[in-house]
């Protein structure tokens, strides 16, 4: 999988939007962008994924740059329960494994 770059940590206030960036300048045309998060003392959980178009689901939105070299995970209203490490991962269309980086540790302040 191609490499991704994320900030080590970010802070947000409760009930405010959060934009978590991810750079993936070496992404190939068939790589999907996946986001997982890991709450304290739990295993990672899927958040969202996309290829070219922006995506929305009940948890978050994913905004993908036109050149696909970067993407942003958007939490529309952060809650204390959203405090976690967020991982941005590229997955090739023909691979079934994922390689996690260091992720971004999100702290949500009340």
Partner 1 sequence: DAGVIQSPRHEVTEMGQEVTLRCKPISGHNSLFWYRQTMMRGLELLIYFNNNVPIDDSGMPEDRFSAKMPNASFSTLKIQPSEPRDSAVYFCASSVQGAGSLAKNIQYFGAGTRLSVL
Which residues of the chain form contacts with partner 1 (CB under 8 A)?
30-32, 34, 36, 38, 42-46, 49, 51, 87, 91-103
Quick check: 85 and 59 in contact, CB under 8 A? Answer: no
Q: At its nearest, how many Å lie between partner 1 and the CB of residue 27?
A: 12
Residue whose CB is less far from partner 1, 18 or 47? 47
- Strand, helix or coil for residue 80: helix
Q: At its nearest, how many Å lie between partner 1 and the CB of residue 88?
A: 13
Taking the CA atoms of 45, 59, 27 and 4 in sequence, report the sign of the dihedral they define: negative
Q: At its nearest, how many Å lie between partner 1 and the CB of residue 80?
A: 21
Residue whose CB is less far from partner 1, 20 or 36? 36
Q: At its nearest, how many Å lie between partner 1 and the CB of residue 101?
A: 7
Q: What is the DSSP letter of 31?
A: P
Residues 88 and 101: their CA atoms lie apart, in Å, by: 8
Residues 100 and 90: their CA atoms lie apart, in Å, by: 9
Residue whose CB is less far from partner 1, 99 or 109? 99
Cα-trace Rg, the chain:
13
Residue whose CB is less far from partner 1, 60 or 103? 103
């Amino acid at each position: 999988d191609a490499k991704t770059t994320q900030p080590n940590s970010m802070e947000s206030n409760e009930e405010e939007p959060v934009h978590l960036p991810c750079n993936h300048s070496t992404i190939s045309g068939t790589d999907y962008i996946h986001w997982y998060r890991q709450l304290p003392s739990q295993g990672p959980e899927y958040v969202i994924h996309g290829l070219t178009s922006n995506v929305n689901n009940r948890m978050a939105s994913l905004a993908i740059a036109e050149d696909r070299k970067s993407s942003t995970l958007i939490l529309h209203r952060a809650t204390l329960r959203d405090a976690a490490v967020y991982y941005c991962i590229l997955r090739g269309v023909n691979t079934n494994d994922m390689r996690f980086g260091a992720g971004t540790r999100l702290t949500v302040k009340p």
